Structure 1
Amino acid sequence: MEDFVESMLNFGGGGGDESEDGEQLPPAGETTGYKSKNLDAERRRRSRLNSNILALRAVVPNITKMSKESTLSDAIDHIKKLQNEVLELQTQLADSPGEAREKQGSASCSESFAPTDSIHYQGQVELIPLGSCKYNLKIFWTKRAGLFTKVLEALYSNNVQVLSLNTITFYGYAESFFSIEVKGEQDAVMVELRNILSSIVEVPSN
């Protein structure tokens, strides 16, 4: 994790006796043009670093301080928390009865095979109100390229803020758990959101 912090703080290069493209710098005072080039490179490096920090702040739910170091530390803590939750869920799946193992054996015969008793649950969307404009959103879907991105775009386009997110995948399926906060007219937004998400995760007919 310390390497992650260091790599983020040094993202894009910076300092040293070489330019950003690896070219050796000339002696100090030789040209003013090269100084200008070096300043431009430093501005670009700082801009990329600031963009990455802002992106982290947008997805990490708990930011304690606004400094770059604190943001990276909070991001690492959040990643550790998610990893622990994934391990707990994997343990629960491993301890589940023989039905799950039977499905695993069937799926291993052919990756494209979908068990008949699971078709009913494909494309399932559940919204559970928690009060104060907050909801739990659960989506069960078949893994398809670009589908998860469409789900996130639908949430943001409807002024829905994602507070936390966990996803588990198994045998060609995925189940995502969102904690969300809705802005604006809740009833109208939630009806529209449910319809949009259902259409996105709906299993296409052959």
Structure 2
Amino acid sequence: MEYQDEDHLCFTMEEFALATENVSSRQRMSRKRNYDDDTRVYKSKNLEIERRRREKLSTRLLMLRSINPIITNMNRGTIIVDAITYIEKLQHEVQRLSQELHQLEATSEKTAEAKVDEIDAVEDMKHWGIQAEVRVAQIDENKLWVKIIIEKKRGRFSKLMEALNNFGIELIDTNFTTTKG
């Protein structure tokens, strides 16, 4: 309780102790900011650090959300849950593709047997009198006429067209004719 003497303002010891506790704890918890208009603003020491941490977390969550194609909600928890389910989905896809790769490796052994059949096809071409042939004739300065006779195999013509495109050859007109099946 406060009472006033002629020249002095007096406090009790309890009020003085309470006032000094509040001041010292306030000084520990906050910083004084003085502005030009002589107003004092108390700001927490950790407030700026916490704001930066939250902003960093928010931007990283938004980046995670932008990567994830499955979006259910915008709050932090669902962004993380959606990312986890997407990662699990990708892991299952990796497992499926690795199993498919192992199956393809197993079928590659079967293709070795198919190569023996290709050799037989070459012998059949010779038996029927069909010979592999490539003819090239120049039509204009930059134009060529190409005639290719090869045995019929699955995917051979498309591979030939891809190879010509890879060499940078522009194909204007193509004809494809098969005989005997």
Q: TM-score range by the shorter chain?
A: 0.3 to 0.5
| Larger strand percent | 1
Give TM-score scaled by structure 2 length: 0.37
Larger Rg: 2
Q: TM-score, normalised by structure 1?
A: 0.33
Greater relative CO (CA pairs within 8 A, separation 6+): 1
